[in-house]
Amino acid sequence: MKTATVRDLRNNYTGVLRWVSAGEDVLITRRGKVVARLSPENDETAEVVDWASSPEVLRDRSGDDALSAEQSAEILAEAGGKW
């Protein structure tokens, strides 16, 4: 069973919904206390997800260059947009 905070749910609801659609029960917490539980509608249709074999985990990062502080700041500034 996975756990997500109210902030996680608000800021990353697509990721939390991905967990639920994959068959995971997700406990939603606020200030360390469980306030809700998200469960898949039908457990029969839930797919089993092997997170350890996902492409993001298996990707070879040994050849990747590390970003400098300036490059990281530039990417964050571009992604920030005008809110």
Asked if the structure places residue 69 within a domain, the reply is no
Number of domains in the chain: 1
Q: Which domain holds residue 16?
A: 1-41
Q: Identify which of 17, 18, 23 has the alpha carbon closest to the alpha carbon of residue 1.
A: 23
- Global pTM reads 0.48
Q: Specify the pLDDT at position 44.
A: 62
Asked if the structure places residue 73 within a domain, the reply is no
Q: Which residues contact 38 (CB under 8 A, 6 or more apart)?
A: 16, 20, 25, 26, 28
Q: Specify the pLDDT at position 11.
A: 92
Q: Specify the pLDDT at position 64.
A: 84
* Residue 5, domain CATH: 3.40.1620.10
At residue 49, the 3 state secondary structure works out as: coil
Q: Specify the pLDDT at position 81.
A: 72
Q: Specify the pLDDT at position 68.
A: 92
Asked if the structure places residue 79 within a domain, the reply is no
Q: What angle do CA 29, 4, 52 make, to 5 degrees?
A: 150
Asked if the structure places residue 57 within a domain, the reply is no
User: Which residues of the chain carry a pLDDT beneath 50?
Assistant: none
